Amino acid sequence: MGIQRAFSRGLLPLVAAFGLVAASGPVAAWEPTKPVEFIIPAGTGGGADQMARLIQGIVAKHNLMKQALIPVNKSGGAGAEGFLEVKAAKGDPHKIIITLSNLFTTPMATGVPFNWKDLTPVAMLSLDQFVLWVNAEDPYKTAKEYLDAVKKGGPNTFKMGGTGSKQEDQIVTAAIEKAAGVKFTYIPFKGGGAVATQLVGKHVNSSVNNPIEAVAQWRAGKLRALCVFDSVRLPYKNKVTETQAWGDIPTCREAGVPTDYVMLRGIFMPAGVSDDVVKFYIDLFTKVRATPEWKKFMEDGAFNQTFMTGKDYADWVAKAETLHYGLMKDAGFLAKK
Amino acid sequence: MADKHGSDSATSAGISVQTMEIVVALILFGLGGMVVFDSSRLGFRWVEDGPQAGYFPFYIGVFICVSSLVTLAQALFGKKRGGVFVEWAPLRQVFSVLVPAAIFVLGIQLIGIYVAAAAYIAVFMVWLGKYGWIKSVLLGVAVSAVMFMMFEVWFKVPLFKGGYNPLGFLGY
Amino acid sequence: MEEINALFHGFSVALTPFNLLLMFVGVTLGVLIGVLPGLGGANGIAILLPLTFTMEPTSAVIMLSCIYWGALFGGAITSILFNIPGEPWSVATTFDGYPMAQQGKAGEALTTAFTSSFIGAFFAVVMITFLAPLVAKFALQFGPPEFFAVFFLTFCSFIGMGKEPPFKIVAAMMLGFALAAVGIDTVTGQLRLIFGWHELMRGFDFLIAVIGLFGIGEILLSMEEGLSFSGRTAKIDPRIVIATWKKLPKFWLTSLRSCVIGCWMGITPGGATPASFMSYGIAKRMSPDGAKFGTGMPEGVVAPETAAHAAGTAALLPMISLGIPGSPTAAVLLGGLLIWGLQPGPLLFVEQKDFVWGLIASMYLGNIAGLIIVLTCVPLFAAILRVPFSIIAPVIIVICAVGAYTVHNAMLDIWLMLLFGVAGYAFKKLAYPLAPLVLALVLGDQAESAFRQAMLMSQGDVSIFFSNGLVGSIMALGLLMLLWPLLSKLKASLLRQR
C-alpha cells in the first residue's frame, strides 16, 4: 500500500485544485436542491458514526453546503441495511454513504446481495489503523514477547476481544494467527469502546482496537500498544502518553509479525449519478479536509490521511476487495452457498 | 391487564373465545415451527466452544410449539371456557378503526406521511366523530404542518415521502 | 471535602445566565423529544449536536445533557396517558401508570413518575459526585459472565409473577425471545430467522413492537367499548402535585432500593431498561401490596421510574471516567466530547476540571429545572385526555406511525406496527401477557450474546457463571428471586402449621 499512498499524496493537491476550479468556474455546477441524506451503516457512537457526525458539524459550521447534511444510521444486518438502501436508490444525487470494512465483509460473510460496484465511489477520506493492545499490567513489552507467550500457552488459551463477528477485528486476528502460527479465542463485542474496557478489566488478553477507540485508556496508562498493523509507522510525533507518541509504536512488521491491515473510511453514493454530482461531493470533502476540526480529529485518532478520488479510488477499492476475499477465505468466514 | 371483556355474555352472537384461542394457538405453532426449521439450518448443537447460532432459537421454537399445543388442546378438549371473544357490533367498531388505519399506512407508502396523515385525521373526524368538514380538514392540515415543521425543518429528520411524493415542490 | 469544593466551583461554572437559559431550552426540547415515540434522547442529542459546535464545550454539554434529562422525564408522559412508552425504559411505567390514568388519576400518576425520576437522578448524581473513581473501578469488574448474570437476575425477578395461564406466559416470553433473535447473530455473524427476506435483517425493534402491542392494541380495545378513553372525566386540579407528594414518603424503601438498582445498572452498564424491569419485579415481590401491582398502584410507578432515571444518570459516569457509554444517549454524547476536543477517559477528571464539574453541577441544576418544568405542566398533560376520542385517536395513530418509522427509517416498520397492534388486541383479550414478551424482546438478544461470549471464554464450560464471587452472587440472587414465590408459599404454610 506504500506505493499507493505515495501516488495519492502526489495527486492530492492536483485533485484539490481541480475540484476548486470546477466549483468556481462559470459553468453552473450541480448543487443539491434538498437536504442530503448521509447514511451510516453502523450504530450510533462507533467510529464511522463519529466521523459522519463530525463531517455534518464541519459542513454546518463552515457553511460548506447550502442544503443540510443529515446523518441517518442504518446499521441493521451488520450495515447491509444501509448499503442495500443506497443500491436501491439508483440515480439519487441526494444520498451518500460512509463506509467501513463491512462494505466488503458483510456481503462476503452473510451472502446479502450487494457489492461496491453497485455504488459510485466518491472519495477516500482516510484509512483507519489497527493497533495490537494488551493490558499495561501484563508483562509483555513487545508484540514478539506477547505472541511467544500465546504460542507457549497453546491454542485457545489467550482471548482476543474485538468488534463484531467476521468483520475487520476478527480478520486482523486471523491474519495475526496466520503470520505468527498461534490460535486465539476471538470474543466478539458490540462496540470498540466496550472492547477497550473489557481489556482494561482483564476479561480478554488483547485487542486490535482502532487508535481512537483505545486512546483514552492508553493515555491513562491502562493499556500498552504493542504494534501497529501498517507498512510504515504512524506520522504523528506529538506525545500522547507521558512517554510515547503514536509514531513511537513499531509496525507489526518490525516486531516480527508480517501483517498489515488498514480500514477504509470512504464515501460512496448511488449508481447512475452524473459526473457533475460526484464532482460536487469531491469538492465538498476536499473543503472538509482543509478545516482545522478535521485535522485535529485525524491526529487524535491517528488516522492515515490518504485521500483518493476517481479511478485511483476505484482501483484501491477493487484491490482491497480481492485482499478481503483472500483473508476471509483463509479464515473460513465466507458465507456458505 | 386483566381480561374484563367478553366474559359472561355467551348468548349473543360473535366470534367465540374458543375459536380465537384455536386460531392464535395455530398461528403461534406455525411461528414456532418456522423458528425450529431455520435454527436446524444454522446448527443447534452445543459444540466445544459453546452453543451454535441456532441453539437458543431452536429450543425457543420448541417451547413455542409445545406451549401452543397445550393451549390448543385446552381450547379443544378442556373445560369449555365459553363466552364471546368479541360481539359483532363492537367488532365492527374495531374494524372501523383498523381498516382506516391500514388504508392510512397504505397511503403513507404511496403519498407520504404528511398528506396521508392530514387526510386520515380529517376523514376519521368526519366519519366517526361527526365533525364538520371544514373543522376536520383544518385540524388535519394543522397537525400535519406542525409535524412537518418539527421533523423536516427543525430536527432535520426526514420522514417517508411516499412513492409519489406530492410535497416534492417544497424542496424537502 | 475536596469534592464539595470542586462541586461549588462547578456551580459557579454552570450558573451563568446563558447556561441557565440553555438548561431550560434543553429540558423543554428533551421533554418534547421524549414524548414522541421513536425520537428518543439519543436521536435528539445526535440531531442537535452540530448546533453546539460553536459553543463552549461546557455550555454545549449542559444543553445536551438537559435534553437527556428532559427526554427521561418525557418518556413517562405517553406511557401513563396512552399506554404508549416513548422510551424502552418507560414500558414498566405503563403497568401501573396507565391503569391509574384510566381510573382518573392521571395527574397523580404523572406527579409520582416525575418526582420518582427526580429522586432517582438526584441519588445517582450524589453518587457520581462523591464515589466516581471507586465506582468506575467497580464497572471494570463486569465481563460477559457478569453481564449474563445481570440479565438472568432481571428475568428471574420478573417471571412467575403473572396470573395468566402458565403456558401462555411461556408462549409469550418465548415469542419475545424468537423476535429478538431475528437478524444478524452478533457472535457468528450469521443471518438468523429471516428466511431470505432481507428487509427483516435489521430485526424487530423493540419500540415498534411496543408501539403496536401497547399503543395500537389499546386503541382497538377502547374502540370496542365505544368512542372514549376511560379516565377522561378526571378532575384537573393544580393542587394534585402537593396532594400526591403527601402520599409519596411511605414508599421510601421501594424508592431507595430502586435507586440502588438503578445506579448499579447504569454503571455496569446494563442500562436503564433492565433497571426499570428489575426494580418493578423486585418491588412487586417485596411490597405488601405486591399482589395488587398492575391495577394502578403508585408504588408500581415509583419503582421503575426511580430506577430508570437513576440508571440513565449513572450511565454518564462510565462515559466520563472510562470512555464507555452506558446508554445509546451517552454514546452520542461521547461523540460530542471527542468533537469538542475532549478526550473522555480516566484523565478527564484531572485535565478538564471545569468541564467535568460543570457537567456534574448541571446534572443537579438540570434535574431541578426539569422537575419544575414538568410538574407545572402536569395539569396540561392530564388535560390531553379530555380531547374527544375521535380527534385524539387518529392523532395518536399518526404519531405512532411516525415513531415506528423514525426508529429505522423503514416503511416496513409501520406495517409491522399495525400487525403488532392486532396481535396486541388479540393477546390481551386471550390473556396472553405482554410484559414477558416485551422483556424478552428487549433483553433476549443481549442476554444471549453475553451468554455465548462467556461460553467462548470458558470454552463451553458453564461453571464460569460461578467462577468468582461477583458473578456467583448475582446468579445466586437470581435463583433466589426465581424461587421466591415458592419460598414465600413455604413460609406461609410453615406459619400456618404453627
Shortest distance between the Cα of C31 and any Cα of chain A, in A, equals 21
Chain C neighbors of A166, CB-CB under 8 A: 188-189
Is there a domain that residue A255 lies in?
A: no
Q: Is residue A226 classed as helix, strand or coil in its secondary structure?
A: strand
Listed residue (C114, C95, C111, C485) closest to C300, CA to CA: C95
Bridge-based pairing state of the strands A185-189 and A308-309: unpaired
Is there a domain that residue C444 lies in?
A: yes
Is there a domain that residue C433 lies in?
A: yes
Cell of A103: 462494505
Cell of C102: 384510566
What's the CATH code of the domain at A231? 3.40.190.10
Residues B93 and B128 in one domain: yes
CA–CA dist C404, C211 (Å, integer): 7
Considering only CB atoms, C344 lies closest to which of A166, A203, A216, namely A216
Q: What is the dihedral of CA C489, C490, C495, C497, to 10 degrees?
A: 110
Taking the model in full, what pTM does it have? 0.85
Is there a domain that residue C426 lies in?
A: yes
Domain that holds residue A312: 2-128+262-331
What sections of B43-166 are H helices per DSSP? 55-77, 88-111, 113-129, 133-148
B 33-52 residues with CB < 8 A to A: 49
Interchain proximity C190–A193, CB inside 8 Å: no
Interchain proximity B158–A33, CB inside 8 Å: no
Domain that holds residue C248: 2-487
CA–CA dist B161, B164 (Å, integer): 8
Is there a domain that residue A254 lies in?
A: no
Span between the terminal Cα atoms of chain A, in Å: 32
Chain A neighbors of C334, CB-CB under 8 A: 45, 193
pLDDT at A140: 93
Residues B71 and B106 in one domain: no
Question: CB distance from C288 to chain B under 8 Å?
Answer: no
CA–CA dist B3, B6 (Å, integer): 8
Is there a domain that residue B26 lies in?
A: yes
Domain count, chain A: 2
Domain that holds residue B142: 88-170
Is there a domain that residue B63 lies in?
A: yes
The DSSP bridge partners found for residue A124 are A266, A308
Question: CB distance from C434 to chain B under 8 Å?
Answer: yes
Which long-range contacts (C-beta less than 8 Å, at least 24 apart) are formed by A216-222?
A216/C322, A216/C323, A216/C343, A216/C344, A216/C345, A216/C346, A216/C347, A217/C322, A217/C323, A217/C345, A217/C346, A218/A133, A219/C343, A219/C345, A219/C346, A219/C347, A220/C345, A220/C346, A220/C347, A221/A136, A222/A135, A222/A136, A222/C346
Listed residue (B102, B66, B60) closest to C166, CA to CA: B66
CA–CA dist C196, B139 (Å, integer): 43
Residues A77 and A189 in one domain: no
Per-residue pLDDT of chain C (498 residues; tens, 9 = 90+): 677 888 888 888 788 888 888 888 888 888 888 777 666 667 777 777 767 767 788 888 888 888 888 888 888 888 898 888 877 788 899 999 999 988 888 889 999 999 999 999 999 999 888 887 777 778 888 889 998 998 898 888 877 656 778 888 889 989 999 998 888 787 777 788 888 787 787 788 888 888 899 889 888 888 887 656 555 555 556 677 888 888 888 899 999 999 999 998 888 767 788 899 999 999 988 888 888 888 889 999 999 999 999 998 888 887 777 766 666 677 777 767 766 777 777 777 777 887 888 888 888 888 898 898 888 888 888 888 788 888 888 988 998 898 888 877 788 999 999 999 999 999 988 889 888 898 898 888 888 888 989 998 888 888 999 988 889 999 999 998 888 878 877 888 888 776
Residues B54 and B96 in one domain: no
Residue burial C434-454, b: 16+ Cβ < 10 Å; e: rest: bbbbbbbbbbbbbbbbbbbbb
Residues in chain B: 172
pLDDT tens across B37-84, in order? 988 888 888 877 778 888 889 999 999 999 999 999 988 887 666 678
Residues B160 and B107 in one domain: yes
Residues B133 and B158 in one domain: yes
Is there a domain that residue B23 lies in?
A: yes
Residues A123 and A89 in one domain: yes
Residues B78 and B92 in one domain: no
Per-residue pLDDT of chain A (337 residues; tens, 9 = 90+): 344 444 444 444 444 444 444 444 445 688 898 888 899 888 766 778 878 888 888 888 788 988 888 888 887 778 888 898 899 888 999 999 999 888 999 899 888 888 999 999 999 999 999 999 999 999 999 999 999 999 999 998 999 999 888 888 999 999 999 899 999 999 998 777 788 888 998 999 999 998 888 888 888 888 999 999 998 999 999 888 888 999 999 999 988 888 889 999 999 999 999 999 999 999 999 999 999 889 988 888 889 999 999 899 999 999 999 999 998 998 888 887 5
What's the CATH code of the domain at A18? 3.40.190.150
Is this complex's ipTM strictly greater than 0.85?
yes
Considering only CB atoms, B156 lies closest to which of A33, A35, A156, namely A35
Beta carbons of C122 and C128 less than 8 angstroms apart = no
pLDDT at B101: 92
Interchain proximity C224–B47, CB inside 8 Å: no
A 7-46 residues with CB < 8 A to C: 43-45
Closest chain B residue by Cα to residue A156: B49
Residues A156 and A209 in one domain: yes
A263-270 sheet: strands from edge to edge = A69-73, A36-40, A95-99, A263-270, A119-128, A308-309
Residues B25 and B57 in one domain: yes
**Last residue of a domain, which of B55, B82, B109?**
B82
Instruction: Fill in the amino acid letter for C96.
Output: D
Beta carbons of C462 and C196 less than 8 angstroms apart = no
Q: Is residue C267 classed as helix, strand or coil in its secondary structure?
A: helix
Domain count, chain C: 1
Closest chain C residue by Cα to residue B148: C402
